[in-house]
Structure 1
Amino acid sequence: MGLSFVLDPEVTPDLGARITTLWTDVSNAGGAVGFLPPVSTERVRPVAEQQLRGVADGPDRLLTGYDRESGRLAAVLFFESQRFELMEHWRLLKRVMVHPDFQGRGYGADLLAEAERLARAWGLAGLRLTLRGGLGLETFYARSGYKEVGRVPGAIRVADGDDRDDVTMWLGLHWPGSTRTDPARPVLARLDPH
């Protein structure tokens, strides 16, 4: 069991269709990846195609994980560039997804560990991600070393009267020219001295 990873696979129509299906299934299982259930593949497809264009045309990168036993696409994440020279030393993780059929096997943690390994090999200073509050995702990402560094209260409206926080998390990898390994730590110390 476990995942076999492929970095920067060729973006083919078949891969696009499989990612769209995975994204739809994750959304319909309650995953916070940009849609609310119920959602159809027709609704997800244009957003998936746009995300994949950033990979095919650059500078974004795609990490896929395949279940070793079945060979099925089980996990996906995108390393997204901010397309801004002053922010090229880190990447934003987008669409961190594990298919519902494979959840509970540790694949999410494995996917994040592989993303961290790659980011370190590329010499990046950190990885950033955002998440929808109210689902306990902060705890999940914290287990992989991510620290909460920002929160916008009520920025995500999932329904009338149900606004969720937009939470930013950061994983410091290394800071060139410094002994600091986590540039977020001083911010966290000021916010929560305990």
Structure 2
Amino acid sequence: MSPRFVTDPELTGELVDELIECWTEVSNAGGAVGFVPPVTAAEVRELALSTFARCGADGPDHLLAGFDEDGRVACWLVLADAGSRLRAHWRWVLRVMVHPKHQGRGYGALLMRAAEEAARGLEAEALHLTVRGGTGTESFYARFGYTEVGRVPGAIRLSDGDDRDEIYMVLQL
């Protein structure tokens, strides 16, 4: 069964807790979503709350959440404002994640297609994202038409001696 996608769902305490749990599980499974495992929900919470504070009908950013057949968070991402009126025609795709228990079911592909649809509804003409080098995720995004437009060598430091490139990718809508 496919997830049910909602743009800007009401950020109740229960939903925020589910999103944070998903973020923590994805991080601890090795997902490149801002943390290096192991990480706790308490560590994720601070960044999560600041991320969600920008989302919603009145905020500049938009949360896109996919819910499973039980109504629980299965996957999510943020379509973020570009930060300038001169860039109002494009969006950043941030924090793309699928809960580990739902991985391998095609939810990531469905999430990316839903993001395109939501971005078009926001009148975006392009989507931009970055990926952490060494993860292979750039090939995932390339399947949806994203192309690499640049990289910053060693921009991401996971630990001493483990620096990764930050890869910039764009999809023209």
**Structure-2 residue corresponding to 1:152:** 152
Q: Distance in 1 between the 2:50 and 2:113 partners?
A: 26
1:32-75 CA distance string (max 9 Å, x none): 0000000000100000000000014501111000113x332100
Q: Where does the alignment leave 5 or more consecutive residues of structure 1 unmatched? A: 174-194
**Structure-2 residue corresponding to 1:104:** 104
TM-score relative to the length of structure 2: 0.96
Residue 10 of structure 1 aligns to a residue in which SS? coil
Q: Where does the alignment leave 5 or more consecutive residues of structure 2 unmatched? A: none
Residue 95 of structure 1 aligns to a residue in which SS? strand
Q: Percent identity?
A: 54
Cα deviation, residue 83, structure 1: 2.5
Contact 2:79 2:119 in 1 (8 A): no
Alignment of 1:1-194 (within 5 A): 1-56=1-56, 58-68=59-69, 70-173=70-173
Cα deviation, residue 120, structure 1: 2.1
1:102-135 CA distance string (max 9 Å, x none): 0001100100001111222332110001110101
Contact 2:3 2:68 in 1 (8 A): yes
Q: How many residues align?
A: 172
Relative to structure 2, which stretch is displaced further, 133-142 or 5-14?
5-14
Q: Distance in 1 between the 2:120 and 2:48 partners?
A: 27
Bigger Rg, structure 1 or 2: 1
Residue 96 of structure 2 aligns to a residue in which SS? strand
Cα deviation, residue 2, structure 1: 1.1
Structure 1 segments, 4+ long, off by >4 Å, are: none
TM-score relative to the length of structure 1: 0.86
Q: Distance in 1 between the 2:37 and 2:123 partners?
A: 38
Cα deviation, residue 159, structure 1: 1.4
Higher relative contact order (CA 8 A, sep 6+): 2
Q: Distance in 2 between the 1:83 and 1:163 partners?
A: 27
Residue 55 of structure 2 aligns to a residue in which SS? helix
